[in-house]
Structure formats: C-alpha cells, structure tokens
Amino acid sequence: MSTMDFNIGIEDVGVAILQELWNRVALQAVELAKETRDVMIEKGSFREFLRSITELDVLLKALNVRTIEAAMGTESTKVALEKLNDKLRRARKIIKNYKAGSHLRFLLHSHSVLTEMSGLAKDIATTISPFQLSNLDMALNLKSMNDEVIEKLNSMEFSVAAATETIALEIENSVSQSSRNRENAVKLLEKIAEAVGADANVSLVQTELALLKQEKEEMEVQKKQAEALQLSQLMQLLYSTEIVPGPRNEEASTCHKQYPIGSFICPLCKEMMVDPVVVFCGHSFERNAIQEYFESGKKNCPTCKEELQSLELTPNVNLRSSIEEWKKNDMDWRFQAAVSGINSDDHIRKNQALDDMQVLVEISHYAVRAREEGLLPKFVEPLKDTTLNTKAAVKCLHCLAKYCDDRKREIIEAGAVRRIVKRIYNGETELNAIAILLELSKTEALVEKIGNTKDCIPLLVYLVSYPNPEIALKAQDVLRNLSSNTHFVVKMAESGFFQSFVARFSQGENNESKRSDTKRLEHCWRQR
C-alpha cells in the first residue's frame, strides 16, 4: 500500500468517526424534540424551544459531515459535535426529570430550571455557530433556517409566567407557615392542578405524595439534607388538604412543620446547617462555608452584600437548637408514619414502611419505641412471606435484639430463630440474620431454645466455613455461646465442629454425666 493510499484510508476512518458522532447528535436532537413535545408547564417557552430543535434536526439531516469537516477541520468538527451532543443531552435530561418528578417540586423551582434551560439554548446556538454554514454550498432556505435557529436560540428566554411565579411563591409561603389552613391548602392545590392540566382530586394528591416520597428518599441517600427537608415540607402541605388521610399521630406531624425551611439552610452551601454562625450584619451561615468564603478574600456578606466591619463569627445557639429540635420532630414523624404503614394491610405501603423503619431502629431510642408499639411480631411476619420486605424486617429484628435485651425471649417465641434457619437453608444467607442469632445467644437463659431449634447447630457449623468471613466469624461466635450446653457441644462435634469439644475435653470433667458426654465426644472425634 502506498503512503497516499494509507493517508486516504486514515482520512476515511476519521470521517467515519465524525459521521457516527454526527448521527448521535441528530438522534439526540430527535429525542429532545420528542421529550419537549408534551411539556405541561410553561408551554410557551418550551414550544418555541421545540421549534428550534426541530429545525436543527432538519439541518443536521440535510448537511453533509464531509463538507463541514472540510470547512472546519477534523478536530474542530469533532469538538463541536461532542459539545453539541452534551448540550442536547443535558437539555433532554432536565426536561425528562421535570416531567417524571413532582409537579409541586418543579413549580417551586421553576425559575432555576427555566434559567438553566435558557443557558443551554444559548450554549447550543454558540456551538453550532462555528459550523460556518453560510459559507458552505447549501440551499438558500437551509442557510436561512440555520441563521434563524442560531438567532432564536441565542435570544430565547425561558421566562416564568406570572401565574407560575405566584404559585411558586404561595407554595414557598405555605411550607413555611407554623399552622396550615385546610381551605387555603385546597385552594393552592386547585391552582397547581390548573397549572399542570389536572384535577385537584385524590389521584393527583396520591401521585404527588408518591413522587415526593421517592425523591425525598433519593435526596437522603445522596446526603442532600436541604432538599430532603423541603420535600418533607411539600408532603405536609399535601396532607394538610385532608384530601388523603395523613400519617398517624397528628401531634408529631404538627411539630414537624413548625419551622420555616429558609432559616435552616445555609445560603452558601445550600445544605441544612450543623454549626450555624452569625456574621457582623446578622445573617447566619454554616461555619465551614462562611470561613471558606472569607478565606477567598471576600469581606462582604453573601446575603445582603454589605461590607463587614468585622469577620468575627458568633455561634447561633438558638438557630442550632431549632434545627436540632426540627430534626428530632422529623424523625418522630417518620417513625409514626412507618408504624402506621407496618400496621396497614397494604403490602406496598407496608414494605416501604419496613424500609423506613430499618434506618430508624438503628437508633436505640426508636428500637425501644418499636418494641413498645408492639411491632416485634410484625417484623417476624415477613420472614415467612416472600412478598414482604424481608431484608428490612431482618435488620429491624437485629436492632431489637441488640437494644431490647428484655424482649429477646419474645423474638424467639415469635418464631424468629426457626424462620431464620429456614431462610438460610433456602439460600437467603444474610449477615443481619446471623447477627440476630448472635445477639440472642448472648443471653444464657435462651441458649437452650436456640440450640434445640431444628437444624440450627448443623447450619451454624456449615456457616463457619462460609466464604463471607463476617458471616463465618459470627456463626463461630454463636457456636461458642451455645457451648455452655454440653449436649450442644456433642451436636457440634457430630456435625464436624470440634473446637468446643477440644475446649471441653481439656477441662477434665469429673461427674458421671459429663464423663458420659466426654465419651460421646471422643467417639465423634474417632469417627472424624
């Protein structure tokens, strides 16, 4: 192959790569147009954006990537296409997320969402401008369309309609009120329903609550406390309409909505404050956030922009106490909601409640309260019902066994040990399940009940060699606790576990009963 042929081959590969990227961009434009087509809120702004993206799609299909590459160069074309693909993808993600999520949350944050969309529209225009389409050999109507698309996207403003802004303000005010008026909450819901083209009925409220709860859980997993807090407030707003029944224990619910959200959130880091401090002008911030701000050389207040006479920070003790009290009330509210869900007959609601409760009972206070609420048998039920959240129930039982020492016998009498053994034999080997047996076996009075559970000791012997070292170690610890009973030591030896036998044999027991057990152990050893 000549050098010329080789170079031509390389160029063809480069164009093929660009063509593939061009096709991806075109597909992204098509998908973005589809996603934008059925937007329900702020239709005017999105309709104009849809027209521009649709025209961009027409342009992408009409143009030739080789011509673009010849005019701009391979690397510049590649960079421009990659950037365009990223901008279109981000716009699509924003619209998709907003459509799939809670309407309340979108309305509350509509200004920031639409501002981001305005920025992306301008970025898309900036990205396609260097294509130099006006200098290319193309039809006059396409040149005109290209100029129009760039101009429209550059000047596009996703402005918030006055009605939407009013609703957002009302939502923000409502979630900050110390007491909510049902009539006002219903009127606000009607405005929200009208804005999204729906009816203010049970179905809308239930859908919104389900979405808010899911989003709240996601924020909690991501450690985004401020967002999770705000979503809790929105859920309380919906409950205050009384269109659907709220969680049990209204007193806890009332406490939960006692404080305005704005006072808890640091204006700099946008997270709930842990160590709030006051600057000279009186505004509060999270200590680390404001320290970093001052260390960057700034000497004005981030909120009021006033130049500060002193950079001294004073702990905001009252605000910190309020935040801590709100957190406590929030936990209490979540606990009562979970109790109500676990006691319900709705499996979906019960499973979600078990999921919530497994986090709460890691705190000893809530483990004790769960026992006082009579939930212990409710945590055993899922061990025999595959439609229920078994892993969460096992976690709850482990915490009760750990923190409620006086109720360990109840756990056994409810059938937990027998169910755990069956689950492990069926392949459901969980660390928390073995941890339950370990906690229970620490109580001498319960050793006999555990060891006499059918197949329990052979199973524990099997788990000593389990691939997961944590499970194997805990199984060995359970066997060690059961070794206070000589009969169980014999059963262990019969199953192939001789550590307890060796320990017992070395003690040199004297009475007749123990000598008999020792002979049985010796027999097991010889049979090994």
Q: What is the pLDDT of residues 192-235, one digit of tens each?
A: 888 877 888 888 888 888 888 888 888 877 767 667 777 877 88
Helix 3-37 vs helix 43-62: crossing angle, to nearest 10: 160
150, 178: one domain:
no
Specify whether 371 is located in the same domain as 473: yes
How confident is the model over 167-176, as a mean pLDDT? 75
Residues 454 and 349 in one domain: yes
pLDDT value of position 176: 56
For residues 15 and 127, state if they share a domain.
yes
d(CA 431, CA 444): 22
Q: Give the residue among 81, 101, 131 at the shortest CA–CA distance from 39.
A: 101
Quote the pLDDT of residue 171: 81
Please count the structural domains in the chain.
Answer: 5
pLDDT exceeds cutoff 80 at 513: no
Tens-place pLDDT, residues 333-371: 788 888 888 988 888 888 888 999 999 999 999 999 999
257 within domain boundaries: no
* Same domain? 146 vs 169: no
Q: Tell me what the mean pLDDT of segment 42-54 comes to.
A: 83
Instruction: Please check whether residues 222 and 210 belong to one and the same domain.
Output: yes
Residue 93 counted as domain residue: yes
- Asked whether residue 138 is assigned to any structural domain, the reply reads yes
| CATH code assigned at 372 | 1.25.10.10
Q: What is the predicted pLDDT for the residue at 179?
A: 45
Identify the pLDDT of residue 362.
Answer: 93
The string of pLDDT tens digits covering residues 244-270 is: 876 654 434 444 444 445 678 898 988
Residue 258 resides in a domain = no
Range of the domain at 521: 497-527
Q: Which of 160, 191, 224 is the last residue of a domain?
A: 160
- Phi, psi (degrees; rounded to nearest 5) at 315: -55, 135
pLDDT of residue 139: 61
What's the pLDDT score for residue 2?
45
336: exposed, middle or buried (C-beta count within 10 Å: 0-12, 13-18, 19+)?
buried
Q: Say what percent of the chain tops pLDDT 70.
A: 84
| Mean pLDDT to the nearest integer, 377-400 | 90
Q: How confident is the model at residue 88 (pLDDT cuts 50, 70, 90)?
A: very high
| Same domain as 359, residue 462 | yes
Residue 425 located in a structural domain: yes
User: For 411-464, how does the pLDDT look when each residue is reduced to its tens digit (9 = 90+)?
Assistant: 999 999 999 999 888 888 889 999 999 999 999 999 999 999 999 999 999 999
Mean pLDDT of the region 278-304: 92
- C-alpha distances out from residue 143 to 10, 27, 131, 147, 511, Å: 31, 21, 12, 6, 105
Quick one: 98 and 229 in the same domain? no
3-state secondary structure of 504: helix
Q: Is residue 266 part of a domain?
A: no
Residue 168 lies inside a defined structural domain of this protein: yes
- Residue 143 included in any domain: yes
Tell me, yes or no, whether 222 and 331 share the same domain. no
Residues 314 and 240 in one domain: no
Containing 285, the helix (H) or strand (E) segment is strand 284-286
Residues 510 and 417 in one domain: no
Percent of the chain with pLDDT over 90: 28
**441 and 507 co-located in one domain:** no
On the question of pLDDT at 15 being above 50, the answer is: yes
- In this prediction, residue 13 carries a pLDDT of 60
**Could you tell me the CA-to-CA distances from 86 to 28, 82, 94, 124 in Å, in that order?**
9, 6, 12, 9
Domain boundary among 144, 160, 176: 160
